C-alpha cells in the first residue's frame, strides 16, 4: 500500500479517521473512495452485487453505513408501508392487489385519523425493481389537515446505534439518517401538488413543514443527548430546487427549516451530510449557509451545470464534496471511458482535500447487475485508488 506523501499526515489513516478528517476539511493521506450502499456488514442484497462487496474487501474501501431509526409517522418509501412503529393507537390497514401486469402489484396503505382516512397506493415490482407512487397520501386541503393531525411517534432506542458502531469498528463511519422537513411534506403530497401549493397554499405548506421540523428536532435532541454521532445525514432538498422551485422557495422551505437542525448537530460537535441530486448551480452556496459539512453527489454536466472544479472553486474549504461520478456511466460507458472520467474527476476533486469520490447513487437500479456494469465498478475503484494518494 502506498505511503502518505502529505507531510502533515505521516501515517496511513483508518477509514473512519480519513472520512471524518475529510468532512472537517483537514489533511488526509488519500481521497476516500466509497461505494454508496455497499458495506461489509451485510450480505449482498442481490447475488449479482457480490463483486461490489468483493471490491470493498479487496481495497479496504471507506464505508459509511447508515443507521435509520424509526421514521416519523406517515412517511414512507415506495413499496414500504407508512411509518407507524412506536405510534400508540394509530390504525393502519395494508392491502395488496394484483394489476394487469403479473410482474407488478399494488400496495394500498390506509391510515385512520381522527376525522377520516389517508390512503396511499404504491406500485411494487415482484422482482425488486424500483417502485413508484400511484396515489399520494395527501391530495386535498382536507387531507392536509388530516395529515397535520397525525400523532408523533415515540423516541427510538439508541442501543442499535451503539451496537452498529461497535460492529463497524475501524472500517468506516456510522451515519444517523434523519428525516428532512420539506421532504416529509413533499413525500406526502407528491411533487406536482407541491409545485402548485408553494403558490396556492403557501401558508398551509409552511404549517406542514413546521410540524415535521418540530418532530425531527425532538428526535435530534434525543439522539444527541444519548451520545449518537458525530455524523448525521438527510436527503430531500433536491425536490425544492429549480426548475420545480425557485431559489427563494429553497430558502423558505429548506434553509429556514434545516439550519436549526444543522445548528443542533454542530453545537454537539457533530457533522452534517446532505444528499441532493440535480443542478447545484443556483443553490450551492446556500448549503454552506445551511450548515452542511458535506454535500453529495455533485452530479456532472449534463445532469447539472457545475463541474466539480466549479463547485470546489465556489465552496472549497467551506464544505466538503462527495460524488462526481454519474451512476449511469457504469451502464452506458466503456471501461476506458469510465477510467478517463475517474481520472478527470480526481484531478478536479483532489487538490486541497475536502473530497470523497463516490457514484451518484447506490446500485439499486440493477437488481440483476450485468458483467459490464460490474467490470466498470472495478475500473472505477482501481483508477480512483491509483490517483487517490497525496
Q: Tens of pLDDT along the chain (390 residues)? A: 333 444 445 568 999 999 999 999 999 999 999 999 898 988 877 888 899 999 999 999 999 999 988 555 545 444 455 554 334 456 788 899 999 999 999 999 998 888 889 999 999 999 888 889 999 999 999 999 999 998 877 788 899 999 999 999 999 999 999 999 999 999 999 999 999 999 999 999 999 999 999 999 999 999 999 999 999 999 999 999 999 999 999 999 999 999 999 999 999 999 999 999 999 999 999 999 999 999 999 999 988 899 999 999 999 999 999 999 999 999 999 999 999 999 999 999 999 999 999 999 998 888 889 999 999 999 999 999 999 999
| CATH code linked to domain 15-71+150-387 | 3.20.20.210
Which secondary-structure segment (H or E) carries 179? Answer: none
How much is the pTM?
Answer: 0.91
Which secondary-structure segment (H or E) carries 184? Answer: helix 181-189
Which pLDDT does position 5 carry in this prediction?
46
The span from the CA of 42 to the CA of 129, in Å, is 20
Cβ-contact 32, 22 below 8 angstroms: yes
Neighbours of 253 (CB within 10 A): 26
Domain ranges of the chain: 15-71+150-387, 75-138
- Strands (E) in 138-293, as ranges, are 172-177, 231-235, 271-275
The span from the CA of 349 to the CA of 327, in Å, is 17
**DSSP assigned state of 302:** T
| Sign of the four-CA dihedral 274, 265, 80, 190 | negative
Amino acid at each position: 500500500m502506498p505511503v502518505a506523501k502529505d507531510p502533515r499526515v505521516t501515517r496511513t489513516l483508518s477509514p473512519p479517521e480519513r472520512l471524518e478528517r475529510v468532512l472537517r476539511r483537514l489533511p488526509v493521506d488519500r481521497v476516500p473512495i466509497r461505494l454508496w450502499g455497499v458495506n461489509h456488514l451485510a450480505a449482498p442484497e442481490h447475488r449479482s452485487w457480490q463483486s461490489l462487496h468483493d471490491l470493498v474487501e479487496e481495497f479496504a474501501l471507506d464505508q459509511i453505513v447508515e443507521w435509520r431509526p424509526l421514521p416519523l409517522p406517515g412517511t414512507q418509501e415506495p413499496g414500504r408501508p407508512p411509518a407507524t412503529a412506536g405510534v400508540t393507537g394509530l390504525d393502519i390497514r395494508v392491502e395488496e392487489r394484483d394489476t394487469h401486469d403479473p410482474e407488478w402489484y399494488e400496495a394500498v396503505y390506509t391510515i385512520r385519523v381522527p376525522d377520516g382516512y389517508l390512503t396511499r397506493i404504491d406500485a411494487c415490482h415482484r422482482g425488486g425493481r424500483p417502485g413508484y407512487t400511484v396515489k399520494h397520501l395527501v391530495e386535498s386541503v382536507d387531507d392536509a389537515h388530516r395529515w397535520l393531525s397525525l400523532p408523533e411517534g415515540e423516541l427510538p432506542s439508541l442501543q442499535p446505534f451503539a451496537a452498529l458502531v461497535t460492529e463497524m469498528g475501524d472500517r468506516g463511519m456510522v451515519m444517523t439518517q434523519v428525516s428532512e422537513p420539506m421532504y416529509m411534506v413533499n413525500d406526502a403530497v407528491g411533487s406536482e401538488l407541491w409545485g402548485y401549493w408553494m403558490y396556492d397554499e403557501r401558508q398551509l405548506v409552511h404549517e406542514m413543514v413546521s410540524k415535521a421540523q418540530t418532530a425531527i428536532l425532538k428526535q435530534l435532541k434525543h439522539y444527541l443527548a444519548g451520545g449518537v454521532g458525530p455524523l448525521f445525514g438527510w436527503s430531500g432538498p433536491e425536490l425544492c430546487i429549480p426548475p420545480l422551485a425557485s431559489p427563494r422557495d429553497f430558502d423558505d422551505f429548506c434553509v429556514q427549516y434545516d439550519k436549526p437542525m444543522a445548528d443542533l448537530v454542530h453545537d454537539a460537535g457533530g457533522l452534517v451530510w446532505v444528499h441532493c441530486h440535480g443542478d447545484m448551480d443556483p443553490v450551492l452556496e446556500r448549503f454552506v449557509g445551511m450548515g452542511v459539512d458535506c454535500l453529495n453527489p455533485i452530479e456532472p454536466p449534463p445532469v447539472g451545470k457545475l463541474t466539480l472544479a466549479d463547485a470546489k472553486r465556489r465552496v472549497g474549504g467551506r464544505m466538503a464534496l462527495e460524488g462526481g461520478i454519474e451512476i449511469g456511466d457504469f451502464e452506458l460507458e466503456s471501461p476506458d471511458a469510465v477510467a478517463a472520467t475517474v481520472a478527470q474527476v480526481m484531478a478536479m476533486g483532489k487538490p486541497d482535500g475536502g473530497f470523497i469520490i463516490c457514484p451518484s447513487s447506490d446500485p439499486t437500479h440493477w437488481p440483476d447487475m450485468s458483467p459490464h456494469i460490474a467490470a466498470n465498478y472495478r475500473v472505477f475503484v482501481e483508477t480512483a485508488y491509483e490517483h487517490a494518494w497525496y
